[in-house]
Structure 1
Amino acid sequence: MSSKVVLITGASSGIGKSIASYLSLKGFKVYGTSRNPKNLENFSFELIALDVLDISSIQNAIDLIVEKEGRLDVLVNNAGMGITGPIEDTPTEEMRNVFNTNFFGAIDVMKSVLPQMRKQNSGLIINVTSIAGYMGLPFRGVYSASKGALEIITEATSMEVKSFGINVVNVAPGDFATNIASGRYHTPVFENSAYKKKYKENLELMDSHVDSGLDPIVMAKSVFKIINTKNPKLHYKVGDFMQKFSIVLKRILPDRVYEKLLMNHYKL
């Protein structure tokens, strides 16, 4: 069989670009996406236009790939955005924007590739979520919620499409050294906010975690391994030991004990 055809959303930078570059190097036919690919240069893979908030844009990109390649084997649903802020201070409209991208946008891309994968009686969908999606993190609650919601949708979709020869999995990364911090929506540190001091301290802590995060190539290698696994697991976690272990602790510790550990970590 010829090399697999892979669609990767949000591939203009960070984790998406790393995955796309690595898979291209390994011989896959990779189509990365960006909202404005004409403004970008020097990519080792083909970059096409796709906006996860625009259904016609999603369908046009998939039609283009299928017309050129005759198939679509793998979707890496990676496009997303970050958000920080106390729940009380964060504009609800900004929360909706994040869910529209991280949750509904990812669902719309899945819905758009499934007819072609059903036709082929084969396919793999990899939803990129986050270790943060396994727990409610202070000042990142909306981001955690959007990624946690996508985890649950992944589980449901996996069961619904299994009989069509399609696998749906999720990969939850921890902190990686990318430009995600610069692309987040940051709720301003309001002068009159009850959360001013703690939120400001935690913004600095979050940025330091990203700056000292793992190399995105680790995610790329993990995705490559999943694609080459005959019967992939439903959930994968990719991060340092303590980030992955935090999920285990949440499962085994009493709720308030785990909450206290998080509060101590975030100095609350």
Structure 2
Amino acid sequence: MSKVVLVTGGSSGIGKSVGQYLTQQGFTVYGTSRSPEKYTASEFPIVGMDVTKPKSILEAVNTVIEKAGRLDVLINNAGVGITGPIEEIPEAEIKNNFETNFFGPINVMKTVLPQMRKQRSGLIINVTSIAGYMGLPYRGIYSASKGALELVTEAFRMEVKGFNIQMTNVAPGDFATNIASGRYHAPVLEKSPYKGSYGQTLRLMDTHVASGKDPLEMAKAIHKIIKSPNPKVHYKVGEFMQKFSIVLKRILPDKVYEKLLMNHYKL
């Protein structure tokens, strides 16, 4: 019997690539979107879900369980980018980012756990970010929301082990997706003291995404995790230097590492 997989944010970018690849590998895949009616031609069914609304999460999860009879794998992929000087990002946008990238995934996990406990099996994969391992200039809120999800996963996986439920993080680097178009950009204000450095960093970030790796690489990495009998706590997928930056943060003095980041972003 093929495993039943739920991919949040499955209508585009990494989520779409993961859903398509797993479908081709014989899994029964359901994706989610806030506007499922736009994706009737999808290779796998797309159900309606807004991760910021618990009622919407519950309805989507119940729909999948009613149709498939079980739920074996949750891939918590839905997320949104945010950039800007922290001083200038509206508080409402900061809260919205955490609602989508942090509280949303937690609520999805809470909603699928009763079914996985009933089955005495399940796997939850939280898609975080290499940016979650470090505070990046003008991406500080994004780094914080993804870093918070990494830490929650570390704790949560220990709490659910006794139910034969596994949980892990997979942190992508830059991939060629439409995340840049969907993220909240604080405007580069003409009179802002950050105008020069923020504008320059924004252009650099967009270039990184545009020249990023093929999302198929993430799909293959997630497939490997699903096939693993004992998934690790953390996985990183991306360019060598992006992954190596995490190692450098661990071994270098804080100020030396900070200087490397500032040189990279030309600050």
State the TM bucket, normalised to the shorter chain: over 0.9
Please state if 1:25 is matched with 2:24. Answer: yes
User: What is the alpha-carbon distance in structure 2 between the residues aligned to residue 210 and residue 141 of structure 1?
Assistant: 17
Aligned twin of 1:69 = 68
Written as runs of structure 1 = structure 2, the 5 A alignment for 1:107-186 is 107-186=106-185
Helix, strand or coil: the match of 1:43?
coil
User: What is the alpha-carbon distance in structure 2 between the residues aligned to residue 67 and residue 99 of structure 1?
Assistant: 30
Helix, strand or coil: the match of 2:80?
coil
Q: In structure 2, what residue type is equivalent to 1:259?
A: E
For structure 1, which runs of at least 5 residues remain unmatched after alignment?
A: none
Aligned twin of 2:8 = 9
Q: Deviations over 1:117-153 (max 9, x none)?
A: 0111100000000000000000000000000000000
Written as runs of structure 1 = structure 2, the 5 A alignment for 1:1-268 is 2-268=1-267
User: What is the alpha-carbon distance in structure 2 between the residues aligned to residue 94 and residue 31 of structure 1?
Assistant: 29
Q: In structure 1, what residue type is equivalent to 2:197?
A: K
Runs of 4+ in 1 over 4 A off after TM superposition: none
Q: In structure 1, what residue type is equivalent to 2:71?
A: L
Deviation of 1:68 (Å):
1.7
TM-score (norm 2): 0.99
Q: Deviations over 1:183-232 (max 9, x none)?
A: 01000001111100010011100000000000000000000000000001
Q: In structure 2, what residue type is equivalent to 1:246?
A: S
Deviation of 1:40 (Å):
2.1
Q: In structure 2, what residue type is equivalent to 1:244?
A: K
User: What is the alpha-carbon distance in structure 2 between the residues aligned to residue 65 and residue 98 of structure 1?
Assistant: 26
Helix, strand or coil: the match of 2:9?
coil
For structure 2, which runs of at least 5 residues remain unmatched after alignment?
A: none
TM-score (norm 1): 0.99
User: What is the alpha-carbon distance in structure 2 between the residues aligned to residue 98 and residue 65 of structure 1?
Assistant: 26
User: What is the alpha-carbon distance in structure 1 between the residues aligned to residue 34 and residue 189 of structure 2?
Assistant: 32
User: What is the alpha-carbon distance in structure 1 between the residues aligned to residue 78 and residue 208 of structure 2?
Assistant: 21
Deviation of 1:41 (Å):
3.3
User: What is the alpha-carbon distance in structure 2 between the residues aligned to residue 12 and residue 68 of structure 1?
Assistant: 19
* Count of residues paired in the alignment: 267
User: What is the alpha-carbon distance in structure 1 between the residues aligned to residue 21 and residue 160 of structure 2?
Assistant: 28
Q: Give the root-mean-square deviation of aligned CA atoms.
A: 0.6
Q: In structure 1, what residue type is equivalent to 2:190?
A: E
